[in-house]
């Protein structure tokens, strides 16, 4: 099956099902990996990120790491760079997603259960800032699959218990 080529990823309902459509008009099933990142976690006791140090020793540059990492992901059957990934990976003709953290930036805290006031002036300003700073700069990127507005928003009291852990 195929659809119209728009030059960008979009969603269409075909035969009763919603599909991603790639820029050329073909159906697209995203298989992605989150956190494709060369930085790693900072280790305070060491004063550096061991993962990042290893990456730089092995590859010599972020550019080389990106090229080899994307080639490896493709060889494993992945076709999307997921949320929380380094912006440097948004290249090499591989679709990617971006997490915007809109509620978090407007004051939400998923751990305490505090939600953002989505009707407040603060949230409106955060949304406008994100749209102008992040979204506007990506509007012509045909490899942008889409955005996640947030992650793990809590809409009610925490349901987990000691039994679940």
Task: Classify residue 116 by its DSSP letter.
Answer: P
Contact 117, 125 (CB under 8 A): no
* Backbone torsions φ then ψ of 90, nearest 5 degrees: -80, 65
Per-residue pLDDT at 162 exceeds 90 = no
What sign for the dihedral angle of Cα 75, 80, 84, 88?
positive
Please give the pLDDT value at position 161: 62
The pTM score is 0.86
Contact 149, 102 (CB under 8 A): yes
Strands 32-33 and 80-81: parallel
Q: Which residues pair with 23 in a beta bridge?
A: none
Each residue's pLDDT tens digit, 116-155: 899 999 999 999 999 999 999 999 999 999 999 998 887 7
Strands of the sheet containing 10-14, edge to edge, are 10-14, 17-21, 27-28
Q: Which residues pair with 33 in a beta bridge?
A: 81
Please give the pLDDT value at position 159: 64
Each residue's pLDDT tens digit, 53-96: 999 999 999 999 999 999 999 999 999 999 999 999 998 789 99
Each residue's pLDDT tens digit, 90-122: 987 899 999 999 999 998 887 777 888 999 999
Strands 27-28 and 32-33: unpaired
């Amino acid at each position: 099956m195929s659809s119209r080529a728009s030059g960008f990823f979009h969603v269409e309902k075909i035969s009763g099902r919603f599909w991603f459509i790639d820029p050329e008009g073909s159906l697209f099933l995203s298989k992605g990996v989150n956190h494709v990142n060369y930085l790693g976690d900072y280790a305070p006791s060491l004063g550096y990120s061991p993962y990042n140090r290893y990456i730089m020793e092995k590859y010599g540059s972020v550019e080389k790491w990106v090229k080899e990492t994307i080639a490896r992901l493709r060889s494993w059957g992945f076709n999307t760079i997921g949320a929380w990934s380094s912006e440097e990976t948004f290249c090499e003709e591989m679709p990617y997603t971006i997490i915007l953290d809109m509620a978090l930036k407007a004051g939400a805290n998923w751990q305490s259960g505090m939600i953002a006031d989505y009707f407040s002036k603060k949230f409106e300003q955060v949304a406008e800032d994100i749209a102008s700073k992040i979204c506007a700069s990506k509007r012509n990127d045909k490899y942008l699959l889409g955005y996640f507005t947030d992650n793990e928003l809590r809409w009610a009291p925490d349901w987990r218990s000691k039994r679940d852990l």
